[in-house]
Copies of this chain bind each other. A is one copy, B any other.
Amino acid sequence: MPAIKEITASQLDTKEFIREKAEEVSRIVGSGIAVNALSGGVDSSAVTMLGHKALGERLKTFFIDNGIMREGEPQQIASIFKKLGVNIEIIDAQDDFFSALKGITDPEEKREAITQTFYKKVFGNLVKKSGAKYLLQGTILTDVDETVAGIKRQHNVFEQLGIDPQEAFGYKIIEPLVQLRKDGVRKVAEAAGLPSSIYNRMPFPGPALSARVIGEATRERIALVRKATTIVEEELASSGAFQYMAILHNDRVTGMRDNKREFGQQIEIRCWDSIDARQARPTHLDFGQMEKLAKRMVTELPGVVSVTYNIATKPPSTMEAI
């Protein structure tokens, strides 16, 4: 793999970068069509804007509703792009993902099941049907670094998956953001006209809410952690924290309702202070806020009897639980 020439956020001239990359995409795709998958994350959002600038309606953008997104997320994202004149097609692929996740408890196998379902099944079929010869991907330099270092397997780095996309799916991959890191991408996203809810979007994991469920990611458990996520995001939006999340544990703990014992569920809340996600400390929320969060969890979420707040640092913890 040839070394990739990094463009730091401070070096970056966003207008020039967008112009140049749009031209490059346009040159490669020619009069053909390209596809991309939008998750609503800053990387795929920036790529969608770049691709749209280069190709207009010849870029076909899909939002794969895998069933493990947050509450209302597919519709919210599609609506943001609609306002910018970009049409997004939402594909309901919930059944495919939940059947792939069935019975899987190991975090690595979960990640793998999602990746395989996405690329080999759902998105693979969409690309085939579309007749596109090009796929735009929001891979950034950090994804490449982390995958090479074996720290995290990024779902958008194909080599590791043993996939030659051209051979497997008949398309080439274009990665216009691969010289940037996250801070650079945020600047590009802003310059491309995306709203702050996108370019300042809190990091959200590739395997989405399935990364927020320890153990099997069933429809029911995803629905539960989705509600917990809504509560955490409502309560901590004004915390100024780098990232916050709710995690549904697999362990059962004893609780008590109506004077009867109930083996219930536990939600773990993590809320991180961090500059660049490489190191992190728990945000010093006040106890009133933590108790309110706990109260909402045990009141609004059926079967939840216990709530914890993570107090470790990264390292040796990571931001996400799995």
Ordered by A's residue number, 8 sampled pairs between the chains whose C-beta atoms are within 8 Å are: A214-B251, A214-B253, A249-B249, A254-B318, A254-B320, A255-B317, A294-B312, A306-B312
Number of residues on chain A facing chain B (CB within 8 A) = 52
**A residues 180-237 touching B (CB-CB < 8 Å):** 214-215
Using a CB–CB cutoff of 8 Å, the interface residues on chain A facing chain B are 107, 149-152, 214-215, 249-257, 259-264, 268-269, 281-282, 284, 287, 290-291, 293-295, 297-298, 305-318, 320-322
Contacts A291-B311, A308-B310, A311-B307 given; indicate if A316 touches B150 (C-beta within 8 A). no
Whole-angstrom distance between the Cβ of A315 and the nearest chain B Cβ: 5
Q: Judging by beta carbons under 8 Å apart, are A298 and B312 in contact?
A: yes
Q: Judging by beta carbons under 8 Å apart, are A309 and B312 in contact?
A: no
Contacts A251-B251, A254-B107, A311-B294 given; indicate if A151 touches B261 (C-beta within 8 A). yes
Q: Judging by beta carbons under 8 Å apart, are A316 and B255 in contact?
A: yes
Neighbour of A256 across the interface among B264, B306, B314, CB < 8 A: B314
Q: Judging by beta carbons under 8 Å apart, are B261 and A152 in contact?
A: yes
Contacts of A107 in B (CB 8 A): 254, 263
Contacts of A291 in B (CB 8 A): 281-282, 311, 313
Contacts of A253 in B (CB 8 A): 214, 317-318, 321-322
Complex Cα distance, B252 from A107, in Å, reads 10
For the complex with contacts A214-B252, A254-B322, A256-B317, 19 further pairs of A-B residues with Cβ separation under 8 Å are A150-B260, A151-B256, A151-B260, A214-B253, A250-B251, A253-B317, A254-B320, A254-B321, A255-B318, A257-B315, A282-B290, A287-B311, A291-B313, A305-B312, A306-B310, A307-B311, A308-B309, A308-B310, A309-B309
Contacts A256-B151, A307-B311 given; indicate if A264 touches B316 (C-beta within 8 A). yes
* Most chain B C-beta atoms within 10 Å of own C-beta, residue among A263, A268, A311: A311
Contacts of A262 in B (CB 8 A): 316
Complex Cα distance, B305 from A107, in Å, reads 16
Neighbour of A293 across the interface among B252, B309, B311, B314, CB < 8 A: B311
